[in-house]
Amino acid sequence: MQFTDAQLSQWLADFFWPLLRIGAMMMAAPIFSIRQIPVRFRMLLAVLITFVVQPVLPASPVVYVFSSDAFLIAVQQLGIGAALGFMMQMVFNALIFGGQVMAYSMGLGFATMMDPANGVQVPVVAQFWLIL
């Protein structure tokens, strides 16, 4: 069985572009970016999610993977994935901030605990809102 260069390039692109986006999101997302989760596990999880998601995605643009256009597409995919992860981070930080405001207004601001994701002390009410 023989494959052409165009077929191999298309198959690689169909897998590679979603992998870059999902991998960048996994590296920046608050759930997966904590130090306790090894980088290899995050990348393996990104590959598995890409295998699951890839069949339902539309066809990627026909671009040779090792060209200068592919470099620009890769930077674009990494930027989109990192932006998605940082947006998730902002949502989680908004929950923590709302919990801190509520805790300080109720007088519970001194009851703090360690937030394992950020490595800082946060009020218990803020951690409760984050868990919810």
Domain positions in the chain are: 5-131
- Which residue did the predictor score with more confidence, 91 or 111? 91
pLDDT digits (tens, 9 = 90+) for 31-85: 777 777 888 998 999 999 999 999 898 887 778 777 888 889 899 999 999 999 9
What pLDDT sits at residue 101?
Answer: 81
What pLDDT sits at residue 118?
Answer: 66
Mean pLDDT computed over every residue of the chain: 83
The confidence band for 87, taking pLDDT boundaries of 50, 70 and 90, is: very high
121 membership: H or E segment, kind and range: strand 120-123
